A and B are shown apart, each in its own frame.
Chain A
Amino acid sequence: MGQISLSQVTKSFGDVNVIPPLDLEINEGEFVVFVGPSGCGKSTLLRLIAGLEDVTSGHIAIDGQDATDVPPAKRGLAMVFQSYALYPHMTVRKNIAFPLRMAKLDQAAQDKKVEEAARVLNLTDYLDRRPGQLSGGQRQRVAIGRAIVREPAAFLFDEPLSNLDAALRVNMRLEISELHKQLDTTMIYVTHDQVEAMTMADKIVVLRAGNIEQVGSPLELYRRPQNKFVAGFIGSPKMNFLTGATAAAYDAQTIGIRPEHLEVSRDSGDWKGVVGVSEHLGSDTFFHVPVPDSDDPLTVRASGEVDLKRGEEIFLTPIQEHLHRFDDQGLAIR
């Protein structure tokens, strides 16, 4: 259960074409992350799969059955919303039981499933509270609980962590990954945060303006980005791009090198620069080094022990096998 395929799916709102024809296969049990800058159509794509929006043309199949015109409730998918969308006047217990109640399950079976979900999500002590009395992380878990009890073919998450603070976000990220391992159900997760995408996904779908730029495992995307957009979007801090004579030396329009793939030396190297701002994170230090042929200063990652002063002259050398070359279309040259 939980195999979803989209073929030639398009979506327009009036004259605005949000999603041009798009094909995508999501395999059973996969954790797929849709990632892209805001307004790239990733949420729309998720809502199309959920059935909350109608496709303008094309087909969506779930487990081999055409689901294009099937109403959302009948698709067997569960969704966790960005705002959690809990029912404020119901207790946690009633919130979680709501889909079961709608499915007209008998009371004993409802109670059993709710207790089970509450146990998995550590909500047992909160079952009789209302959503208003819960913290952000607990609300998030209630929303997930409401999705779990339905035993759906696939879970859909729409930016579920964006309302949480940084520490909690890291925590929930792990919990959702753990949940995926436990349930072994297909999960589709929408986010604009590439860190979430990299840490959680089996498969990342990078979207830009409704187009799929690249599909692949996190490391595949990190190692072999197909174009400049993916190269710049995946990885933190961002990849450095150089043009002009520096790039021409490598037979490319643009070259890209990640901060962690630059070697720093005080004596010799390929590119010369002067240290600008440096950010000390303890484990790492990031230096910003303005060089010719790059609009932004290059970001360089060095070990936390390296101590360079502002204004010091240094040399940078890219590690050759990690250098990415792009042609004038922005496509990778291999």
Chain B
Amino acid sequence: MATKASRASARLMISPAVILLLGWMIIPLSMTLYFSFLRYNLLQPGPTPFVGWENYYWFFTDPSFSAAMINTLVLVGGVLTITTVGGICFALLLDRPMFGQGIIRIMVIAPFFVMPTVSGLVWKNMFMNPVNGIFGRIATSLGFQPVDFFGQIPMASIILIVSWMWLPFATLILLTALQSLDQEQLEAAEMDGANWRNRFWFIMLPHMARAITVVILIQTIFLLSIFAEILVTTNGGPGVATTNLTYLIYVSSLLQFDVGIGSAGGVVAIILANIVALFLMRMIGKNLDA
């Protein structure tokens, strides 16, 4: 595979795939950029003049923008915390030999296979509904006032649903990391007088550091664009309590029919995602080398 001819033909043969993938990314991206500088409202047919930064101005001064920004960060931060900590705990538990190991592991991973819309609806109607939901029933039977999840604690409810979906992913990756730990290291630590807590802190956790980094990076990318769960449960409400950036873009472009402002929001979302990714990389990326 090193001759000039073979290298040229290799390049020729992978080029359709590369061009397709590149086009797939570049065309929507440049269209979004282009639309974000036009006055383009579907309710006002006619010319779509170039308006410079006007769309960005309206998007940033939208009263729900700052709320959406904060909501996005709270949602990502909350889910990340729950899934990472919970994932480590689940991984530690599942790593122990027990009866029915195979089935239990598959069951733990199951929520990841449920579609976001379905899990959102299941949680909304079967668990969190104050009248018919299981939580409501339990509270009523014990004589408590049932909690109206999406009315009283909407953001916490969304975080709970999304965490439930992503916990298996974190567990799975952290479990494989834990299983690759050399048992002799743990035994050596045991001989060295480390109790369980010290073995976890000094041996297991550093060993899992890289896997934790991967979990955080991958989840952040997906959590920034959470949409379906919000659409089927709270519709971004009450008010703008659960409107994140993705949902705000949806509202601008498809509920207010303003493609220009929606596109501007999309560009802002791309920039935000990159800032967060850069920030995370700098903070924990050093775990990836070494």
Contact = CB atoms under 8 A, between A and B. Distances in A.
Interface stretch (B17-25, B39-47, B191-199, B235-243): B191-199
Interface string A40-58: 0000000000101000000
Contacts of A18: none
B289 interface: no
Given A73-B193, A103-B193, A79 B188 contact: yes
A89 B191 CA distance: 19
Contact size range, A: 20 to 34
Given A85-B182, A89-B207, A73 B194 contact: yes
Interface string A55-81: 000000000000000011100011101
Given A83-B182, A89-B207, A72 B198 contact: no
Given A83-B182, A89-B207, A150 B187 contact: no
B81 interface: no
A22 B262 CA distance: 80
B184, B192, B202, B206 pick with most chain A CB within 10 angstroms: B192
Nearest to A130: B290
B103 to A, nearest CB: 22
A126 to B, nearest CB: 17
Given A83-B182, A85-B182, A87-B202, A102 B193 contact: yes
B187 A73 contact: no
Contact of A72 (B184, B185, B190): B190
A313 to B, nearest CB: 55
Contacts of A87: 185, 188-189, 202-203, 206
A98 interface: yes
B190 A146 contact: no
Contacts of B193: 73, 99, 102-103, 150
Contact of A85 (B185, B194, B198, B207): B185
A301 B207 CA distance: 53
A307 B203 CA distance: 59
A50 B184 CA distance: 13
A307 B192 CA distance: 56
A86 B184 CA distance: 9
Contacts of A52: 187, 190-191
Nearest to A74: B193
A86 B73 CA distance: 40
A85 B190 contact: no
B184 A102 contact: no
A99 B209 CA distance: 22
Contact of B184 (A82, A89, A98, A146): A82
B182 A98 contact: no
A167 B203 CA distance: 33
Contacts of A88: 207
Nearest to B206: A89
Interface in A81-112: 81-83, 85-90, 98-99, 102-103
Contacts of B187: 52, 72, 79, 81, 85
Nearest to B199: A102
A52 B188 CA distance: 10
Contacts of A98: 189, 192, 194, 202
A158 B198 CA distance: 24
B206 A85 contact: no
B17 to A, nearest CB: 37
B194 A102 contact: yes
Contacts of B189: 87, 98
Interface string B160-199: 0000000000000000000000101101111111110010
A52 B189 CA distance: 11
Nearest to A94: B202
Interface string B187-228: 111111111001000110011010000000000000000000
B182 A73 contact: no
B184, B189, B193, B209 pick with most chain A CB within 10 angstroms: B193
B191 A78 contact: yes
B2 to A, nearest CB: 31
Contact of B192 (A71, A83, A102): A102
Nearest to B187: A52
B137 to A, nearest CB: 47
B273 to A, nearest CB: 30
B192 A99 contact: yes
A83 B192 CA distance: 16
A147 to B, nearest CB: 9
Contacts of B194: 73, 98, 102
Contacts of B209: 89
Given A87-B202, A98-B202, A77 B191 contact: yes
Contacts of B191: 50, 52, 72-73, 77-79
A150 B184 contact: no
Interface string A112-153: 000000000000000000000000000000000010001000
15 contacts: A50-B191, A52-B187, A72-B191, A73-B192, A73-B195, A78-B191, A83-B182, A87-B185, A89-B209, A98-B189, A102-B192, A102-B193, A146-B192, A150-B192, A150-B193
Interface of B: 182, 184-185, 187-195, 198, 202-203, 206-207, 209
Given A73-B194, A73-B195, A87-B188, 4 more contacts: A52-B191, A73-B193, A87-B202, A102-B192
Interface of A: 50, 52, 71-73, 77-79, 81-83, 85-90, 98-99, 102-103, 146, 150
Q: Ordered nearest first, which 8 A-B pairs have the shortest CB separation?
A: A85-B188, A99-B192, A85-B184, A73-B193, A102-B193, A89-B206, A81-B184, A85-B185
